[in-house]
Structure 1
Amino acid sequence: MKATCHLRHALLLSLSLSATSPLFLSCGEKNTFAPPPPTPVGVQTPIVRDQMTYFEFPGHLEALQTVELRARVKGILNTVSPDFKPGHRIKEGTVVFGIDDIPYQAALKAAEGNLAKAKADLDIAEITLQRRQTAAEAISKIQIDAAKADVDAANALVKSAEASVIDAKETLSWCKITAPISGRISELEVDQFNLVGNNEATLLSTIVQDDTLRVYFDINERMALLYLKDRKAMQANQPGSTQVTLTLANGTPYEHPATIDYADNKLDADTGTIRIRAIVPNPEEKLADGLFVKVKVPSPASSKDSVLIPAIAIQQDLGGHFALIVDKDNKVVRKNLTLGDSVNRLRIIKEGLTGKEKVIVQGLQRVREGIVVDPSPMPPAEPEKEQNTKAASDKPKAEDANAKAAGTEKAPNN
């Protein structure tokens, strides 16, 4: 009975609270929707300036001179200079190798002996002629003519003997193989004390002059036409003034520019290209004969009032390349782009931007077309004056600046 009574009291209390709850709720504030704040983004105004454009072509390096050291006479390779160190530099005039010269010294002495005998025979012939000419009245004219012929024959033998001496000396000099140029020498192709020059000019080593190198590359017909149009004027007014820059196979730019000094006189009909040559200094010996490089060639026509934006601001979808900008109402607007060449971390925009827009470069992952944003100006991506070649010490600074412009930070080195 008591349990039933308690249950009734609990039910009445619950109904009374339900009846008065609207009174308690009506005393608070109404629940109204508060829109989120505009998304913060970083924006940059495009750089507008006169910009030189470039073309890139694959190329390869060749030494300014390549000389093969060969054995021109037959003999035993019995001498190797202490200055010979494979892969190291050797000076011009150094006697690098020596071949056994005893047979050639003997041949020279024999030639000198023949020359001495020929001169002696000439002396006798001249004396005989003089005596016969003195006694011309007592002898016949035929004897005098015979004496003159003997003198002429003796003179011919002397000249022949002199030539044999010169040839013997030259052959003897070939036993000493001298470096004709300064450069870097290769390994010895034949071991010492082996027979060389037997029926062939045996290759002993090779010297390459690599303090200056040649760069060969082929440009296409479209590029060739641009240069050929002004080739005559360039050769007359500024010979050798066109400079190109090189990038090594590991992506490192080479600090010394190369100067174009030669273009082939015809186009290759099979490939539709023309061969170009440039000269590049190699004072630090960072380059070697045979390396492959990328050659960056300036276009003959520069682009005036080019519009450049950071490459990180450019996106791509099925509709092509585009950038997001902020209009006067702080709304995000899509701009379709036609891209030009890359310039460091910038990209030339041929069509799509005028240079006065606010291009979003930070916070791109948080925005979409049509939403309202809170734009904040960002520092320029690079100085107004372009630096084509930067020192290696400047690379970390440039990477940090680019990372900040992209809204990311570099991880610290552990």
Structure 2
Amino acid sequence: MNLETKVSTTDLESENPEGLGAALDADATDEQALEGQGRRKRRLWIALAVILVGAIIGGLMLTGGEEEVPFVNVGNDGSAPAVTVAIPGAGTLEGTINATGTLAARREMPVGVVGEGGRVVSVPVEAGEWVRAGQVLAVIDRSVQNQQASAQAAQIQVAQADADLAQANLDRALQLVERGFISQADIDRLTATRDAAFARVDVARAQFAERRARNAQLNVVAPSAGLLLTRNVEPGQVVSPGSGTLFAIARGGEMEMLAQVGENELATIPVGASVTVTPAGSERSFTGQVWQISPVIDRTNRQGTARVALSYDPALRPGGFATARITSGTVVAPRLPESAILSDETSSYVYIVDDENKAVRRNVELGMIREDGIAIASGLDGSEKVVLQAGGFLTEGQTVRPMMQD
């Protein structure tokens, strides 16, 4: 007898509903955990790939896609290291010194009251105008002085009349002395009177000339032709010899720059050196020459003055700030980049490559330092093969493989 027992899910659920539900929930949780682990692995691989690509791109950007190897040591196969060399030759180099300073009149002439002074009647000039020698700059009232001059002229006439009378008296006495009516003593007295009268005429004339000279000095005049820089007087003002400077004139309109230069650089600047001057706030430059080197060094800043002569130009205003580029001389010497020059406790030096391709140390003395290189004052004649880079990795007598710079 076969017995078949059919158990349905409904029956199981009815018999044990809680146990069956728990089993189904556990299966679902396992599936979700497996899916989460897969997603985390994929994100990790993607992140690693992004980091690797970024590192490669960053490396290419830093190197510019190329790698400059100034000094390549082959090493393993026994070959000599390669170094970049150049034959510098010798060229003419112009030394330049940059300086700052102020603009000024080369020969500034202060003008004041020469005579006795007085009230200013008029000032017919303005600052910035050109004046000629002897031109009246300020007119001083001379009404009182003119009356004094008239009185002095009248005194000449009075003295001349007295002299004429004394001469006439002497002439008559000389006619009477021959007849014995007048003694010789009277003749001597009349002669002395006549001489004194003529002397008083000379005194009156000298006093009149003095008065006229004083009156001529009342007006303030230009002592020389030039550019009027300042005017410090107005009509109605009372001036005297103690009034100070009323006008300032740049003789001939000549200007200069007072360039402040360090004492070491000042010693290298020759008189007559060419200078390019650029005033502050201007794009124009002016060419001048050093006409005087200061014989004194300032103790506080250790600087001296190089005076640069400049021709007149409206853009050159005395008192303004300017920069200067001074040519300190020319030399014929090799020029090397800064990377080729080494130094130690004893001296500066470079490495050159001899005919046997061996590195040889050569002590050098440095000259002018310019933007395009450093001049070698002594130690090289320009025909040597000089190591341009990585000389610090070489040793004396080391065999190298020179590569000429393009």
Q: TM-score, normalised by structure 1?
A: 0.57
Q: 1:172 aligns with which of 215, 218, 242?
A: 215
Aligned-residue offset at 1:193: 0.6
Listed one character per residue, the Cα deviations across residues 98-136 of structure 1 (whole Å, up to 9, x for unaligned) are 011111111111111111111111111111111111111
CA distance in 2, matches of 1:222, 1:287: 25
The code of the aligned residue for 1:257 comes to Q
Is 1:355 aligned to residue 379 of structure 2?
no
The code of the aligned residue for 1:157 comes to R
The code of the aligned residue for 1:148 comes to T
Preserved contact between residue 211 and residue 285 of structure 1 (Cα < 8 Å) = no
Listed one character per residue, the Cα deviations across residues 37-71 of structure 1 (whole Å, up to 9, x for unaligned) are 87388986424146687889998776443322222
Preserved contact between residue 287 and residue 310 of structure 2 (Cα < 8 Å) = no
Alignment-derived partner of residue 28 in structure 2: none
Q: 2:191 aligns with which of 138, 148, 172?
A: 148
- Number of corresponding residues: 314
Alignment-derived partner of residue 307 in structure 1: 334
Preserved contact between residue 43 and residue 358 of structure 1 (Cα < 8 Å) = yes
Preserved contact between residue 342 and residue 392 of structure 2 (Cα < 8 Å) = no
Alignment-derived partner of residue 51 in structure 2: none
Preserved contact between residue 61 and residue 213 of structure 1 (Cα < 8 Å) = yes
Aligned-residue offset at 1:309: 3.3
Alignment-derived partner of residue 171 in structure 2: 130
CA distance in 1, matches of 2:371, 2:189: 91
Is 1:280 aligned to residue 302 of structure 2?
no
138-147 vs 290-299, which moves further: 290-299
- Equivalent runs, 1:163-202 vs 2, <5 Å: 163-197=206-240, 200-202=242-244
Aligned-residue offset at 1:178: 1.5
Q: 1:118 aligns with which of 154, 159, 180?
A: 159
In the alignment, structure 2 segments of 5+ residues that lack a partner are 1-64, 71-83, 395-399
SS in 2 for 1:127: helix
Return closer, same or farther for 1:193/1:250 CA change in 2, 3 Å cut-off.
Answer: closer
Is 1:74 aligned to residue 106 of structure 2?
no
Return closer, same or farther for 1:146/1:353 CA change in 2, 3 Å cut-off.
Answer: same
Aligned-residue offset at 1:281: 4.4
Q: 2:144 aligns with which of 93, 103, 121?
A: 103
Alignment-derived partner of residue 68 in structure 2: 39
Alignment-derived partner of residue 246 in structure 1: 275
Aligned-residue offset at 1:74: 3.0
Listed one character per residue, the Cα deviations across residues 262-318 of structure 1 (whole Å, up to 9, x for unaligned) are 997xx99x99x9x9987734144665656787695857xx86x522235x6567788
CA distance in 2, matches of 1:185, 1:130: 62
Return closer, same or farther for 1:94/1:324 CA change in 2, 3 Å cut-off.
Answer: farther
Preserved contact between residue 334 and residue 369 of structure 1 (Cα < 8 Å) = no
CA distance in 2, matches of 1:285, 1:51: 34
The code of the aligned residue for 2:201 comes to V
- Aligned-residue identity in percent: 20
The code of the aligned residue for 1:307 comes to P
Alignment-derived partner of residue 201 in structure 2: 158
- Equivalent runs, 1:300-339 vs 2, <5 Å: 306-309=333-336, 338-339=365-366
Return closer, same or farther for 1:38/1:189 CA change in 2, 3 Å cut-off.
Answer: closer
Aligned-residue offset at 1:323: 7.1
Is 1:87 aligned to residue 128 of structure 2?
yes
Preserved contact between residue 342 and residue 348 of structure 2 (Cα < 8 Å) = yes
Aligned-residue offset at 1:155: 1.8
CA distance in 2, matches of 1:132, 1:155: 18
Alignment-derived partner of residue 25 in structure 1: none
Q: 1:205 aligns with which of 219, 223, 247?
A: 247
Listed one character per residue, the Cα deviations across residues 225-264 of structure 1 (whole Å, up to 9, x for unaligned) are x99xxxxxxxxxxxxx95223354779975232446x997
Return closer, same or farther for 1:40/1:159 CA change in 2, 3 Å cut-off.
Answer: farther
Query: CA RMSD for the aligned pairs?
Result: 5.3
Preserved contact between residue 61 and residue 293 of structure 1 (Cα < 8 Å) = no
70-79 vs 347-356, which moves further: 347-356
Preserved contact between residue 38 and residue 373 of structure 1 (Cα < 8 Å) = no
Preserved contact between residue 39 and residue 374 of structure 1 (Cα < 8 Å) = no
The code of the aligned residue for 2:272 comes to Q
SS in 2 for 1:193: coil
In the alignment, structure 1 segments of 5+ residues that lack a partner are 1-35, 228-240, 378-414
Query: Which structure is larger by alpha-carbon Rg, 1 or 2?
Result: 2
Return closer, same or farther for 1:155/1:352 CA change in 2, 3 Å cut-off.
Answer: same
Return closer, same or farther for 1:242/1:160 CA change in 2, 3 Å cut-off.
Answer: same
SS in 2 for 1:206: strand
Q: 2:288 aligns with which of 253, 256, 269?
A: 256
Return closer, same or farther for 1:328/1:89 CA change in 2, 3 Å cut-off.
Answer: farther
CA distance in 2, matches of 1:190, 1:250: 30
Return closer, same or farther for 1:65/1:113 CA change in 2, 3 Å cut-off.
Answer: farther
Aligned-residue offset at 1:77: 0.7
CA distance in 1, matches of 2:261, 2:68: 50
SS in 2 for 1:96: strand
Q: TM-score, normalised by structure 2?
A: 0.58
